[in-house]
A and B are shown apart, each in its own frame.
Chain A
Amino acid sequence: MAVCVAVIAKENYPLYIKTLPNENELKFHYTVHTSLDVIEERIHSVSKNTNDLRELYLGLLYPTEDYKVYGYVTNSRIKFIIVIESTNATIRDNEIRSMFRKLHNAYTDMVCNPFYTNGDIIEST
C-alpha cells in the first residue's frame, strides 16, 4: 500500500497530500516536494523533443533508501505522486499504473463539481 499520495497543481503548489497517519507527515511533504525536480526535468525533456502525445505515467522518479516515488502528470500539468515503501516488493508497475488511473478519475470527477474552483485546495471527506 502507498504511504503517501499527493496532488500537485500546475504551478507546483500542493492541492492535496495524504499520508499514513502516525507517520512523520512533514518528511513526506519534503519527499513529494523534492520529487518535483525530477518531474519538471522529465516534462521539459519531453516537450523539447517532440510534439507527440506524452505518456502521462512517468514511472519511478527516484529511489531513496526507504521509499520509492512514482509520478504521473496529466495533460493539464496536474501532478500525481505516490510514495511506496522500498521494502514493499509486492506492488508491481501495473498496480501503480492502475492506482494512478483511479486517482486521475477521482480528480476528474472532483473538477467536474461546479462548486469547486480550479486551483483551490482539495478537501477530502
Chain B
Amino acid sequence: MLSGLSCLLFRLENAFYELAQAYYHHESRVVKAHRDHLNKTTHALLFVRHQFKVAFYNELKQDSHTALKHYRQAYLHLHELRITDYNLLEIKTNSCIVNFKICKLCFEHNTPLDAISQFRRHVDIYKSKIGTADLAFEHSAWMSKQFAVFGDLFEEAIRAGLTAIQTQHPGFYYQEAARYAIARKQLCRGLCPAELKYPASDPLAEADKMEYYGQRPWRQGHQSLEAPSVQKEREGIQALQYRECQVDHSWLVIPLLSSAIAQFKKYKSPRMKRYLVVQMGEEYYHAKDYSKALALLGRVTWEYRSERWWSILTNILQLSLRCAYLVMSFEEYVTVSIELMGRYAQVPREEKIRIQMNLHKIFQDEVPEPEHGCEHDSVEKGRALWTTISAGGKSRSPIVVEMNSITAFVECKACFTADSFLCESPVTVKLGLHSFAPMPIRFSQLSVRFSNEAYNQFGIVVDENAVDDPIESTSYLKPGQTLWHTFQFIVEQDDVDCNLSIAGVDLVLGSLEGCCATLRWTDGGGDAIVHPFATQVHRKKVALNADFSVVSWDVLPSNYSTHISPREANLDVQLLQKGPALVNEFYLMTVSITNTEVAQISNVRTSISVVTAVADAVATAQPNTFLYEDIDLPCSQLISMPLLEELKPNQKVDNVAYVRCVDSGARLMCIQVSYQIPIDISGKMSMCNCMKEITSSIEVCEPFNITVSLTNMKFEKIEKVQLGEAFLSRMEVKCLSPWPVALQGSSLNLAKLVKFADEESLSQLTDVSLKQNDCAVEFRCLLSSGQTPSEIDIGSYSIEWRRVQNGAAVPFASTTVSLPTVEAEPIPLSLHVDMPAYGHMKAVLPLTYLLHNQTPFVQDMEIAMESSEAFMLSGHKQLFFRILPDSQHILRYNLFPLFPGYVTLPRLRVNMVRYSGVLDQLSSVVPTHIFIKPFEKKVSA
C-alpha cells in the first residue's frame, strides 16, 4: 500500500519535474529570442540582464553548467560597461551578485581554482574603482563584503569535502575582509564629521522600495552621466555619511577577525593567529572594551617574548599599558610598566622616565599621569577610578609579579660561590641586582628563599630609607649599576650530603606597610627566559669564585644549586695482605685502621665489600667471590666488622677477614669506615659524621696445573679405551703457587661406567708437599665396564691441599678437575698373557695365552706361533680351533731361553676368520719382549 503510494508520488514528482523543466526551458528560450533583437551599442545594459535571466532559468532547471556559462557571459558584459561615478554603485552591486553566483557554482563543480581565479579577477578589477571620494567608506565596505562572502563560500566548500592548504584557505579572505572593515572605519572617521545632521528632505526615504539594485534613491531610473541635481546629490551623500556614522565598526571587524583566527589555527599558522589576536585586541581597544583588550593582548605577549621580537612586544605592551591605565588594573599596570622600563623594550628614554615616574607615583598612593593617545572621555573615566582609590586612603592589597616570565628593568642573579661546600664551613651566596631603569630606584626589602626554609632568615635585607630619599643604601639601585649582596650561614647536620638550592628571590617595590609589589624570581633569577639560546653557549664561563664586580653583567654565572658535602675523613685505612691469593683457598686479609684525627673518634664502623665491575656483573650472574668474617661463619658479599666504640688519636686496630675466590683474576675490595668526631663549628661543638672509603685490589691465581692423560697397561698413550680392558689414568699435578703447598690427598670420583680395576685404589699423593714448579704424578688403574661403544665420561679428580705456612689453622681447600671423556670401543677377542716378569737362561719359561671370545657367536680361530732364535719352544705351532661365545681358550707354551738380555718373544699371530685385522688391536696389548737373566756369575773365592 505504502510502496504503491510512494511509487505514485515518485511518478508525480517526475511529472512535475518535467513540467517545470519544460517551463524554464521555454522561458529561457523566450529571453534568448528577445535578445536577438537587441543591439550592442544602445542596449548594453539589457545584455547583462538577459544573460543573467537565462543563467537563472538554467539554474532553476538544474542545469548548472549552462547556468555558469551564462553567468560568465553576464559578468563579461557587465565589465564592458562604461563606468562613471553615478553608475558605479549599480555596477558593483550587480557584479557582486554575478560573481557570487559564479564562485558558488565553481565550488559546486569542484573546481576551486576557477573560483579563486574568478574572485581574484573580480577583486583586481574593482579594487581601484573607489567612486565618489566622499563615499570612499562605501567602497571599503563593499570590498570587505566581497572577501567575507568569498570566505564563507570557501568554508562551505571545505565543509562539503574540499581540502585547503596552509597558504590558501578561507582565513586569508576573512583577514582581508577585516582589513577593509578597519579601513572603512578609518575612512568614516576622516570623512564624516561628528556634528553631521541628517538632511531634512530625507533623500534615502525611498531606499527600501527601489526598482533596481544599486541605484541611488534620489536619482532613480536616471541613466545620464551627469547628476540631475547638485543639491540633491550633496544631500544624499550627507545622508549616507550620517548613516555611516551610526555604524559600530568594531563589531563588524571583530567577528571577521575571530573567523580568521579560527581558520589560521586550523591551518597551522600560530604566528598569523597571534597577529590576528593582537589586531582583535586593538579593535577591542577602539571599541573601548579595555579589559577584554588587555586580556587578549596578555595572552600573546609570552610567545613574542620567548621568540624575542622586541619591537612587536613593545608595541603590544604600550597598548596594554594604556588599557591597564584606563581600567585601573593595578597589577597589570605595574607588570607592564616594569617590562616597558626594561632593556629590551624599544621605547625612547624619555618615555621610560615617564613610565618610571608613574610607577613611583603609584607606590606613593598618587594618581599616575594618563597615557598618550587615549580617547579623551576614557581618560576622564580612568582618572576618576584612580582618584577614588587613592583618595579612599585604603592601600591596595600587595601584588606579586612573576619575574621569570617577563623581561624586567631589574635583573637578579643569585649564585652559590662554589659547587659544593663542606659541612663545617659557611655557605656563601652572592646576589647581584642590576637595574636597566632610566632613573635610580629603591626597593624596601630583598629576601632570598632556600629549598630548606630554615635558612630564609639569613637572606633578608631591609631598607628603612624613604623611597624618594636619594641616600645610597643596601637597596638603592642606580641605572646600569650592579648591587651585590653576600649572605653567609652554616648548614645544619641534617642537610649534609644533600643538595641545597635557591628556591627564589623576592624583591619588594614600594613600602612594606603601604602599597607594595613583590617581584618574585623562582630559582636564582638569571637570564634563562630571555637568553635561552646562543649567549649561554658561546660565551666563556666565568668561574664561581671570580670577582664578580669586574665581570660584565650578561656573562655572570647563575648557580642556584649547591651540594653540602660531608667533612673530609682523616683516617689511615689499609688492607694488609700478601698476594697473590689462590683459587678456592680461604685467604686472610687484615684491615688496619689508624686514627690520624686530632680528637678521639667514636662509633667506628667498618665494612668490606666486593666491587663488581659492571661488565662482570652482566657476564657472570653467579658471584665468584665470597667474604667470610670468620671461617665458620656463612659467607656474604658484604661483611661488617665489629663496632668500635672509640678510637684515640694515633691508636691502631687490626681486623681480619677471609675471602674465597672461585676463579682466578683480580678482585677489587672496597673498605668503608664511618665514624663520628666532635668538631667546633663557629664556637659550637657538634658531632660530625665522616666516612673514609678505600679500594684495594687482590690478585688471585690458580694453585695447580693438573694435566690428565690415559695410557694402556704398557704406559703407552692411548686415545681410545677398549671395553673390558684395563687402562691407566695419569694425573700430573704441577704446583703454580708461589707458596709451598701441602697435599693432603687426592681422590677420583668415577662416573657410572668406569670402575677401579682393583678393589682398592689408594691415593699416591698423600702428605706430599710441593714448591713452585714442582710436579707430582700418580696413576690409577681403571676399567671401563660398559657394554656398548660410546663416549664415556670418566669422572673427576680432586686434590685436597693447603698452604704449608698456614698450618692447621685453615681448613684444606680442594681443587677439582674433570677427567677427559674417551671413546670406548668393543673388541671381539680379548687376549691376556700370563708370564713371569723375567726369565732365566736355560730355565723353563712358561707362557700362557688366554683368549676370550667377547662376542655372542662361536668364533673360528687360527693361530700361528712364529719361531724365534732366542728361544726353543714347545706347544702348538699352528692351530685351528673354535671358541664358544663368552668362553675362553687357553694356549700354553714352554719357552727355553737361549740368549740373555732383553730379547724378543716369539710372535703369536692370531687371526679370527670373521674379524680380519683384529691382530692389530691385540698387538698393542701383547708383550713383545722379556728380560732374560744371564747365568749367575760365580764370584771366585
Interface residues of A (CB under 8 A from B): 9-14, 17, 25-26, 29-30, 33-34, 36-38, 41, 61-62, 64-65, 117-120
Contact = CB atoms under 8 A, between A and B. Distances in A.
B29 interface: no
A18 to B, nearest CB: 13
Contact of B307 (A12, A119, A120): A12
B268 A26 contact: no
B538 A117 contact: yes
Contact of A34 (B179, B269, B532, B535): B269
B309 A14 contact: yes
B682 interface: no
A11 to B, nearest CB: 5
Contacts of B387: none
Interface string B505-542: 00000000000000000000000000011110011000
Nearest to A26: B315
B166 interface: yes
A123 to B, nearest CB: 15
B534 A29 contact: no
A15 to B, nearest CB: 10
A51 B176 CA distance: 38
A2 to B, nearest CB: 19
B709 interface: no
Contact of A37 (B272, B311, B315, B532): B272
Given A29-B311, A61-B167, A34 B272 contact: yes
A34 B307 contact: no
Contacts of B278: 30
B538 A62 contact: no
A119 B275 contact: no
A76 B796 CA distance: 70
Contacts of A11: 307-308, 532-534
A29 B2 CA distance: 69
Interface in B238-290: 268-272, 275, 278
Given A29-B309, A41-B268, A118 B167 contact: no
Contacts of B269: 34, 37-38
B315 A33 contact: no
A64 B178 CA distance: 13
B312 interface: yes
Most A CB contacts (10 A, CB to CB) among B278, B533, B535 go to B533
Given A11-B534, A37-B272, A117-B534, 8 more contacts: A11-B307, A13-B308, A26-B312, A33-B309, A34-B269, A37-B270, A62-B172, A117-B539
A85 to B, nearest CB: 14
Contacts, number: 65
* Closest 5 A/B residue pairs (Cβ): A119-B534, A13-B308, A37-B269, A34-B272, A62-B167
Interface string B307-348: 111011001000000000000000000000000000000000
Contacts of B538: 117-119
Given A12-B307, A13-B307, A118-B534, A65 B271 contact: no
B101 to A, nearest CB: 23
A118 B538 CA distance: 8
Contacts of B315: 26
A64 B275 CA distance: 14
B283 to A, nearest CB: 15
A26 B311 contact: yes
A96 B695 CA distance: 70
Interface size class, chain B: 20 to 34
Contact of B271 (A9, A33, A117): A33
A30 B350 CA distance: 26
A5 B589 CA distance: 79
Given A13-B309, A14-B309, A65-B176, A36 B534 contact: no
Contact of B312 (A29, A41, A119): A29
B271 A34 contact: yes
Most A CB contacts (10 A, CB to CB) among B176, B534, B535 go to B534
Given A37-B166, A37-B269, A41-B268, A30 B535 contact: no
Most B CB contacts (10 A, CB to CB) among A25, A65, A117, A118 go to A65
A61 B272 CA distance: 13
25 contacts: A9-B533, A9-B534, A10-B533, A11-B307, A12-B307, A13-B307, A13-B309, A14-B309, A25-B311, A29-B309, A29-B311, A33-B271, A33-B275, A33-B307, A34-B269, A34-B272, A36-B271, A37-B166, A37-B270, A41-B268, A62-B167, A64-B172, A117-B534, A117-B539, A118-B534
Nearest to B180: A65
A23 B533 CA distance: 31
Nearest to A41: B166
Contacts of B532: 11
Contact of B275 (A9, A17, A30): A30
B300 to A, nearest CB: 11
A100 to B, nearest CB: 19
B168 to A, nearest CB: 8
A116 to B, nearest CB: 11
A34 B167 CA distance: 12
Contacts of A38: 166-167, 269
A53 to B, nearest CB: 23
B532 to A, nearest CB: 8
A30 B300 CA distance: 13
Contacts of B268: 37, 41
A119 B537 CA distance: 10
A33 B534 contact: no
A12 B309 CA distance: 9
A12 B533 CA distance: 11
A120 B272 CA distance: 26
B535 A119 contact: yes
Contacts of B272: 34, 37
Nearest to A65: B176
Nearest to A117: B538
Nearest to B533: A11
Contacts of A30: 275, 278, 312
Most A CB contacts (10 A, CB to CB) among B271, B535, B539 go to B271
A46 B941 CA distance: 122
A5 to B, nearest CB: 15
Contact of A33 (B167, B176, B312): B312
B275 A34 contact: yes
A38 B270 CA distance: 10
A34 B661 CA distance: 71
Nearest to B311: A29
A30 B166 CA distance: 18
A116 B534 CA distance: 12
A117 B272 CA distance: 31
Contacts of A13: 307-309, 533
B533 A119 contact: yes
A57 to B, nearest CB: 16
Given A13-B308, A30-B312, A61-B167, A37 B271 contact: yes
A41 B267 CA distance: 10
A89 B535 CA distance: 42
Nearest to A14: B309
A30 B315 CA distance: 11
Contacts of B166: 37-38, 41
A117 B538 CA distance: 8
A62 B176 CA distance: 14
Nearest to A44: B268
A25 B311 CA distance: 9
A26 B269 CA distance: 19
Contacts of A41: 166, 268
Contacts of A12: 307
Interface in B67-92: none
A118 B176 CA distance: 38
A18 B535 CA distance: 24
A56 to B, nearest CB: 19
Contacts of B308: 11, 13-14
A36 B539 CA distance: 28
A9 B308 CA distance: 10
Contacts of A17: 311
